[in-house]
Structure formats: C-alpha cells, structure tokens
Amino acid sequence: MSLDFKKVKEISIVKVVARYGVTLRFKGVWGSGFCPLPKHKKDAEDKTFSVNTEKNYWKCFSASCNEAAGCKGGDTINFVALMEGCSQLDAARKLTEWFFPEQEKTPQRIVEGSSKTNLQATSENSSSQVGVKYMQEVEAWFYALIVRGDQEEDCDYWARILKGVKTKLVESYRSGQKARAA
C-alpha cells in the first residue's frame, strides 16, 4: 500500500474524531468537546478538546493531556497514533484504510476449480469500486449534515437532521427501485 502522507493529513479532523465517537459543538471554525485521548483524566468535566476545521488540527487544553508527552495537539495522523497507541506510520496506514480503501492493494485470490473468467472478476471489482464510491459519498453527506451551524438552535438543528435523513432515505429508495426495474 502506497502512503501519501500529505493526502492523509488533509483528511478532515472532524471525520477522524467522529470515528472515535467524539461529539463536537461548533462555533465558527472551532469545534469543542470532551477529550477522548487515553492520557486525559476521565473525571475532567471541561470540554477541553478542540478542533480547527480551517487549519485541520486538534488540541487539548487540559493539564493531564499537556503533561503527557505528545498529547498537546496535532494533525490527523498523530491523533490516531495517540488513540490507537501505535506509530505515526501505522496511524497513517489506518487512516488510508479507513478513508481511501480503493488505494489498498488486495492480493489476487486464486481459488482452485474456479470457473470465473477474467471478465467476470473485472465486473465484480468495478461493482465493488462503485459501492466504495457510494459509501464515501454517503459519509461525506453525513458529516456535512451533522456539523452544527454557529447560531443554530437545538430545534432547528434536529429538524434539519431529520429532514436530511428522510430526504436521503427517499433518494436511496428511489435509486433502488430504478435499479430493480432495469
């Protein structure tokens, strides 16, 4: 698997922290929430964890994180490295697997007695690529939907979320019906 560190560092920090269940409240380009880092003292009540969507980095302002070496803040790669307790290289690999699955090299499987032709295998591979692309589009839609506006009230936020989900479900249903008819 080829790693493009520049591309990996450009992965949205919001998407990365969301994979770890971090809920952020946004005010402009800053999102804040409870720190998920393993070194963070769990009894801390403050929302000391912040992300900057414009510069794509994270920061924890708590004393417990700042005392731990390397826990002050950084990019997507060092966030995953700290969360997973792994090297920066392994973190970059994980991020590539999560966000760029089409870049992974999949070993060719040789199945004894297989009657599949190369054409069938190519067709299945392109079908899988279409599925991956669709899931990436859905993920991008989802993250765009859940980001809260600066001045958005709770009732407006949840009404927008509900409307967005209903719209996507109807769109998905209609696409399935068209595919079934074809």
Tokens of 123: 């067709």
**Residue 57: predicted pLDDT:** 93
- Do the beta carbons of residue 1 and residue 104 sit within 8 Å? yes
Does residue 171 sit in helix, strand or coil?
Answer: helix
Taking 80 as the threshold, does the pLDDT of residue 123 lie above it? no
Between residues 118 and 78, the one the model is more confident about: 78
Judging by beta carbons within 10 Å of its beta carbon (0-12, 13-18, 19+), is residue 101 exposed, middle or buried?
A: middle
Report d(CA 54, CA 13) in Å as an integer: 10
Q: Is the pTM of this model over 0.85?
A: no
Which of 79, 14, 8 lies closest to 51 in space, CA to CA? 14
Residue-wise pLDDT tens digits, 126-172: 566 666 667 767 776 676 677 666 666 778 778 888 888 888 888 88
Tokens of 33: 């929430």
Angle of helix 76-84 relative to helix 88-99, nearest 10 degrees?
Answer: 110
Taking 80 as the threshold, does the pLDDT of residue 73 lie above it? yes
- Do the beta carbons of residue 82 and residue 94 sit within 8 Å? no
Confidence of residue 101 (pLDDT cuts 50, 70, 90): confident
Residue 74: partners with Cβ closer than 8 Å, 6 or more residues away: 57, 58
Residue-wise pLDDT tens digits, 2-55: 678 889 999 999 999 999 888 888 888 999 888 888 877 776 566 788 999 999
Report d(CA 3, CA 89) in Å as an integer: 9
C-alpha pair distances (Å), 140 with each of 14, 87, 135, 159, 163:
11, 27, 9, 20, 17
Domain 1-100: give its CATH architecture.
Answer: Alpha-Beta Complex (3.90)
Report d(CA 176, CA 84) in Å as an integer: 38
Highest mean pLDDT, choosing among 44-53, 54-63, 97-106: 54-63
**Residue 15: predicted pLDDT:** 93
- Do the beta carbons of residue 83 and residue 20 sit within 8 Å? yes
Which of 68, 27, 32, 31 lies closest to 47 in space, CA to CA? 32
The one-letter amino acid at 43: D
**Residue 108: predicted pLDDT:** 35
- Going from N- to C-terminal start, the domains of the chain cover 1-100, 119-182
**Residue 14: predicted pLDDT:** 93
